[in-house]
Chains A and B, each alone.
Chain A
């Protein structure tokens, strides 16, 4: 097997890995402050892709307005819209469940997943609709020296990495981030110091949701947009989160990237196992390091 093939698959794997990283980062950030796992995270990723698709292809057909929202506009608008949905979910529903067992938050967001997935299944084919809005400037391939790689995918990798590391920097190295960490450490004490913890919680949930939405927009030109795209992905991301442990932001990012890479390489060496390799790795981690690779059990 040529080194080119392996490198190509590794890069494609990294491409999947940045999506894992962005989603598990969002899950970890939300889990840190709210102590819940957002099952609807996958649905929000799907929602992001669909809003971009509808904005580009269906506005005139459905609403009679002859506006087309391009890729670049979507890249900004969609995370804001999905984040707004996150605000509504947190304020109206999740907020009332904080005093209960945390599994109720998981069950609630599972219900929201079913609603979103069912809604889009009514109007769109399960096998997927292509997103035609990939900008002209990102089409074609780039010569990386050892291989040619699609420009758009390279762009998606770089942008996702920038967003992930910016988030890490913000949380770990800015004043606002230190307040957030204080809220994670001890919400009551933080509130006693005059910080608005409920607002922080809302914004954190919205931020995580927006991150999922952004991942959805980035994924739209690569994969066809389907009502099931989020559900398939989120279960893998759960395994990523179990492997990495949700104790650290950097841990979530790195384990996402690494597992995407491993999945990509599995496609080269033993294709049938590509869809399950992450789950088997999770089993190994559970056996030998139950708290996760970067884990601090909460």
Chain B
């Protein structure tokens, strides 16, 4: 019930946002929000900490940028190509990473993501440290011009809703229930006859694909695939967003992405101090605020109801 109200609120906020705020900034937040939702599926529901999700977010942007710029793909097809790439990449990384548990899983994903980072830095078509520039926005379905920022905004919002819907559907399916069972007690889930590795891998692939969808969309918005999006710091940022908003809650990652995104934006004048502040928030969240914003609100509401 509360989720339905929250969803309607989010819908209204999303539809009206470009009239209150700079559309490109809101689009950026939406991409990060979707990215965080994808990440949350893995950490919040399956209990798997991936420290390499930037590989999907950043990697998809490069593929989308390349096929729209060099091969003349339409923006929609370009985004599908980028997302399809992360579907495969997620399968490969997931297959390797689920061979180790817990803290090793985090280290393996981080190291694998570093391969993508170095490829993005060194391959001939990626533009090295400057990133892949000059990606065309093009036209949707061949007749809707995406260079208009309001049109672009609603296109992005639609993509966000689709991605959000996929994650939401996954969480609230029997599959999602099994994931949570694995998170709570992997050995028990295994003894109940669930093929744990199979579930983990599928969760990883879904998460990677939606993260890729967010990154591919970002490339079209900014007409630019940035190297920083593939950097480990971006993997850290998405963890922070999810943590601040609330691990394992449906709307937490969205709230967290908006909070952290707005904060970084406001503080951007302070240069490297932003990193110090984000690091401090990280420490504070881990020490005393592990439920996150949405998690704390839920706890208060539940307490009142009892």
Q: Which residues of A contact B (CB under 8 A)?
A: 31, 35-37, 93, 96-97, 100-104, 106-108, 110-119, 121-122, 231, 235-236, 238-239, 241-242, 272, 275-276, 279-280, 282-283, 286-287, 290, 297
Residues of B within 8 A of A36 (CB): 103
Q: Do B110 and A113 touch (CB < 8 A)? A: no
Q: Are A121 and B272 in contact (CB under 8 A)?
A: yes
B278 contacts A283, C-beta separation under 8 Å: no
Would you call A290 and B100 a contact (CB within 8 A)? yes
B115 to A93, Cβ gap below 8 A?
Answer: no
Minimum Cβ distance to chain A for residue B263 (Å)? 14
C-alpha gap A272/B128 in the complex (Å): 13
Cross-chain pairs A/B with CB under 8 angstroms, 5 sampled: A107-B49, A111-B285, A112-B283, A117-B275, A236-B114
Given contacts A242-B111, A282-B111, A283-B112, contact A235 B232 (CB under 8 A): yes
B282 interface hit (Cβ, 8 Å): yes
Which among A37, A116, A118, A275 is the interface contact of B107 at CB below 8 angstroms?
A37
User: Which partner residue on chain A sits nearest B106 by CB separation?
Assistant: A106
Are A114 and B107 in contact, CB atoms less than 8 angstroms apart? no
Is A111 touching B115 in the complex (CB atoms < 8 A)?
no
- Partner of A106 from the list B49, B111, B119, B273 (CB cut-off 8 Å) is B49
B111 to chain A: closest residue by CB: A239
CB-contact partner of B108 in A231, A236, A282, under 8 A: A282
A interface, over-half SS: helix
A238: contacting residue among B107, B115, B275, B287, CB under 8 A? B107
Kindly name the residue among A104, A236, A272 whose own CB sees the greatest number of chain B CB atoms within 10 A. A104
List residues of chain A with CB within 8 A of the CB of B275: 114-115, 117-118, 121
Cβ–Cβ contact B111 & A107, under 8 A: no
Chain B positions within 8 Å of A110 at CB level? 236, 239, 282
Closest to B231 in A: A231
Tell me if B25 is interfacial: C-beta within 8 Å of chain A.
no
Interface string of B250-277 (1 = CB under 8 A from A): 0000000000000000000001111111
CB distance from B240 to the nearest CB of A (A): 8
Cβ < 8 Å to A, chain B residues 79-123: 96, 99-104, 106-108, 110-112, 114-115, 118-119, 122
Q: How large is the interface on B (under 10, 10 to 19, 20 to 34, 35 or more residues)?
A: 35 or more
Provide the bound-state CA to CA distance between A239 and B106, in Å: 11
Distance between Cα atoms of A283 and B113 in the complex (Å)? 12
Is A239's CB under 8 angstroms from B99's CB? no
Question: Whole-angstrom distance from the CB of A236 to the nearest CB of chain B?
Answer: 8
Taking the nearest CB of chain B, how far is it from the CB of A284, in angstroms? 10
* Complex contact B107–A242 (CB within 8 A): yes
| Alpha-carbon gap, A102 to B282, bound state (A) | 16
Interface centre among A102, A114, A122, A286 (most CB of B within 10 A): A114
Please tell me if the beta carbons of B103 and A102 are within 8 angstroms of each other in the complex.
Answer: yes
B residues near A236, Cβ cutoff 8 Å:
111, 114
B286 touches A276 (CB 8 A): no
Contacts A108-B287, A286-B100 given; does A118 touch B274 at CB 8 Å: yes
Give min CB distance, A234 to chain B, whole Å: 9
How far apart are B301's CB and chain A's nearest CB, in angstroms? 24
B280 beta carbon closer than 8 Å to chain A = yes
List B contacts of A231 (CB < 8 A). Answer: 232
Query: Residue A93 contacts which of B110, B232, B272, B287 (CB distance < 8 angstroms)?
Result: B287
Most buried by B among A31, A112, A115: A115
User: Is the Cβ of A114 less than 8 Å from the Cβ of B282?
Assistant: yes
CA of A103 to CA of B101, assembled, Å:
11
B275 closest partner in A (C-beta)? A118
Residues on the A chain within 8 Å of B99, using CB: 286, 290
Known: A108-B286, A279-B114, A290-B99. 14 other contacts (CB 8 A): A37-B106, A97-B287, A107-B49, A107-B282, A111-B286, A115-B276, A119-B272, A119-B276, A121-B271, A239-B111, A275-B122, A280-B115, A283-B96, A286-B96
